[in-house]
Every structure is written in C-alpha cells, then in structure tokens.
Amino acid sequence: MSLFNSKKTEDKWEKKYFSLLDEQEKLEKDQQQKEQLLCKIITRLALVSIGVSPQLDPYLTQIRKQLKKGLINDNLKQQLEQFSDTLLKLDDTSVKQDPKCLIEFLQRQFPRRKTEFERVYTLWQQGNYRTQHDMLLALHELVDEEQAVVSDIPKQQLDVDLICRQLLKLLENTDIPEPFSQRAEHLKIQLQDGEPLPILLEETLSLLADIKKHLLQERQDMARFLSQISSQLHALGNQTQGITDAFVQGNKKRNLLDQSFTQQMQDLQQNSANATDLDSLKQLVSSSLENITQQLGQHQQQEKTTQQQTQQKIDQLNSKIKQLEDESSMLETQLQQARHLAFNDPLTQLPNRLAYDERLEAELARFRRNGTPLSMAIWDIDFFKKINDSFGHKAGDKTLQIIGRLLQQHCREMDFIARFGGEEFVMLLPDTHSDAALIIAEKLRKTIEKTGFNSGGHKIRITVSCGISQFSPDDTAEAVFKRADAALYKAKNNGRNQCVIEPAQTT
C-alpha cells in the first residue's frame, strides 16, 4: 500500500514539474516576443525622433544600433544614460515639440513607471512646468530611480553575419571618393571574411567619418576658390572702370582743347580784322600761334602719359583675364574629374547609382513628354558569393569587371547601364517595349554565358539572371524597379541564367 502511494505521489510531482516547465517555456517565449516588440517600437521611435535635436541624434542612432543586437544590459543602459544626460543639457529652446513620443518611449522602456511618466506628461500639458527643462528634470529623476531597467533581461547572441551584411550594404550604397576607394574595398573584403565585429565597426565608422571630413574640406576649398575668383573679378571690374574713366577724361580734355582752339581762332580772326598796321597783326598772329602751340604740346604730353597709363592698365587687365582663363580651365578639368569620380564606380568604371538616378530622371521626363516606350532591366550575377568564398575576392572583383565590360560593350548605344550595388546592375532601354528588351537581354545573357576566366588554375563560369519591366503612363520609378526586381527574383527561383518579364498590373 505504501509503495502504491509513493508511486502515485511521484507521478503527481512529475506532472507538476512538467507543467511548470511548460509554463516557464511559455513565459520565456512570451517574454522574448515582448522584447522583440519593444526593440521594434524603440527603433521606430528613434527613427521618428531623428532631426528633433542635433545633440540627441547621435545617441538615438547608437540606441538603434544597440537594439539591433538585442537588449544587451551594459551597452544599452550606457546609451540610455548618455541620452538622459544629454536631455538635461539641452537649452530650454532647443526642443519645442510635444514630448509625447519621448513619454511613450520611456513608458515602454520602464513599464513599472508608466503611470508616473503619464502624470508628468499631464502636468506638462496643464502648464505646471515653467520650461521643458523642468519637465526633463522630472523625467530624469524617474529614470534615475529605476535602477534595474534591463539588468534582468538575458543577453542574446549577436547576429554578426547580419550586421556585416548591413555594413556591406551601407558601403555599397555610399558614394566613395577616389582617395578612399582602396580602403573601402579592403573593408568590404574584411566584412565578407568575417573579421572581429568591434574592429569592423570601428573601421567602418572611421572610414565614414574620414569621408565626411574629406567632403567638408573639399567644400571649404571650393568656397575659398570661389571667394578668390570673386575678389579677382571685383579687381577686374575696378580696373575696367579705371580704363573707362581714363577714356572719358581723355575725351573731355580733347573737347576742351577743341573749344579753346575754336575760341582762339575766333579771337584771332576778330583781332585781325581790327588790326591797323602790319606789325601789330604779325605780333597778334605770332602770339596766338605760340599760345596754341604751347597748349597743343601740353595736350600731346598729357595724352601720351594717359595712353601709357591706360596701356599699362590694359596689359594688367589682359594678364588677369589670362590668369582667370587658366584657372577657369583648370577648375573645369577638376570639376570634370570630380564628376567622373562622383558618378562612376571605381571597380567596373560603369556609371554608379548616383549617375543612374540622374539618367533615370531624364529618361522619365522624355517618356512622359513623348510617350515613347521605356523599359528597365535588373541584372544579378549568379552564385557571386560562392565565387568570392571559393576563389577569393580578387576573383569576385574580376567577375564584376568582366560583367560590367560585357554589358557595356554589347548593349545598344542608346541604352544606359550602371552598377547599382554589390553584384547588381540596372539598365534603362529607351524606345523599347518589354518584348524587345527581352530579346536584347537574352543576347547579352548568352554572350556572358559563353565567357569565363581562370583563377588560380580553376575555370570560373559566369552566368547572370535578369528581370525586366516596362514603364506605363502612371508608373513611378520605384514601382517599375519593384516589378523588375520581382522578375529577377522569379528568374533566380526558376534556376538562374535566364531573363523574365514582369508586366505592369492592369486595372
């Protein structure tokens, strides 16, 4: 009987144990879902809050980065503390927006203080706080009182591959100036090779910071150059005005001389008529001629001096104009080089995404103006990651260069091809229906299929997939790109190395 009771008791505790395990598992799953939802809400809140205050933006960005890794105790808590401290240091006039978003953020981050945060918000609406700074002090006190905000949340494993892919995508969508192209390519290789994450993050941030500093320096140099040109043009204007004034003064002096000669001739004529003897007439004529000769000599000497000064100013003006022409020519060359670097991909020498955006705007304007057909094709290299992983990144770079060259050489002169990012290329085909675009794309695909290269003694075969869509009158560029991308996805799923059309939806 005792054995029976013992067995029954064990079964009872076993059921209770497993029941508790199920309940614990359910609670952990529910907690995980809540954490994911919290991360998503805070991330979106941080995105919406970007731009409210320049002092807060860096911390909002760091908070979003930490949330992508999960709710990690120390890092997230540190960022929240820095965010809170910065809030306190803001001027009263720096943030004038309704703090409702901030209140909601704090309520989700500190659920145990939800009611207290709501009370602070109500007092703010009622005008009980003299300034927003006072309201922030009240919020800060509540945050300080909550000591264990994320201390009980378990650390989650970082998805390093996802972070590396996002960093790689960030670099590929960033226009890298020529001085930083090699450094950027080296960093891309490190991201693909899976170097330690802290090193990758530090190097990426350092690269982006240096690029920003470089662009700022270029902008400052351009501003100084334009200021210098403006000063030189102002000096030229003054010199030109001086030459003009010299000519005006010369004309005035000549007019005065003419008036003086005319008056003296009239006086001479009148005096000659009144002369009573030959001696007095001779003396009168001699005196008048001597006076005229003296005035004429003085005028000629002044004219000569003025001409020399004017010629000197003209020579200086010509010299400055020549200098400006040389500087203008040099600036034009530099601008052409800068435009080439800004609008071209350094690896494939194809136009980049920035150039694509500019050309797309022109082609769309022509399409809407003339009503001529326009199609878009998106190309993607098949198994590109496998080429990189198996044969190295040099082989991957060579693959991109070969594909870029073949697409450019074998497309029509009117077509536009650009490297969109990574192993993806985009093509605009003016005056072309989607069926005709498919024929052109198929020829290109077959040409690429026949091409390969050797790397380290291995024959590497290259194929591409392509998605095509045609613009309709009511289409946006984003809608057509989305359809072409969907067609590319179908081509990939159907076995790759093929071209697929995605027509516009008819209503």
CA 68 to chain centre: 24
| Phi–psi pair at 416, nearest 5 degrees | -125, 125
Contacts of 418 (CB under 8 A, 6+ apart): 345, 350, 351, 352, 353, 355, 356, 359, 425, 426, 427
Q: Taking all residues of the chain, what is their mean pLDDT, rounded to a whole number?
A: 75
- Residue whose tokens read 């003419």: 258
pLDDT digits (tens, 9 = 90+) for 308-331: 777 777 777 777 777 777 777 777
Query: Residue 162: its pLDDT value, please?
Result: 73
Q: Which helix (H) or strand (E) holds 302?
A: helix 278-343
Contacts of 101 (CB under 8 A, 6+ apart): 45, 48, 49
Q: How many CB atoms lie within 10 A of CB 337?
A: 11
Query: Residue 208: its pLDDT value, please?
Result: 78
Angle at 395 between CA 391 and CA 400, to 5 degrees: 140
Structure tokens at 130: 């003299």
* Cα–Cα dist 202/197, whole Å: 9
pLDDT > 90: what percent of the chain? 25
Q: What is the mean pLDDT of residues 379-403?
A: 91
pLDDT digits (tens, 9 = 90+) for 405-442: 999 999 999 999 999 988 999 999 999 999 999 999 99
- Label residue 100 exposed, middle or buried (CB < 10 Å: 0-12, 13-18, 19+): exposed
Q: How many CB atoms lie within 10 A of CB 498?
A: 17
Judge contact between 153 and 73, C-beta under 8 A. yes
Per DSSP, the three-state class of 349 is coil
Angle at 358 between CA 363 and CA 491, to 5 degrees: 70
User: What residues does 424 pair with on adjacent strands?
Assistant: 380, 421
* Cα–Cα dist 221/214, whole Å: 10
Q: How many CB atoms lie within 10 A of CB 217?
A: 10
Query: Residue 64: its pLDDT value, please?
Result: 61
pLDDT digits (tens, 9 = 90+) for 56-76: 667 666 666 666 666 555 666
Per DSSP, the three-state class of 51 is coil
Is the pLDDT at 464 greater than 90? The verdict is: yes
DSSP type of residue 111 = G
Judge contact between 59 and 86, C-beta under 8 A. yes
Q: Which of 50-64, 174-188, 296-310, 422-436 shows the lowest mean pLDDT across its residues?
A: 50-64
By annotation, the residues acting in catalysis are 423
Query: Residue 96: its pLDDT value, please?
Result: 47
- Label residue 6 exposed, middle or buried (CB < 10 Å: 0-12, 13-18, 19+): exposed
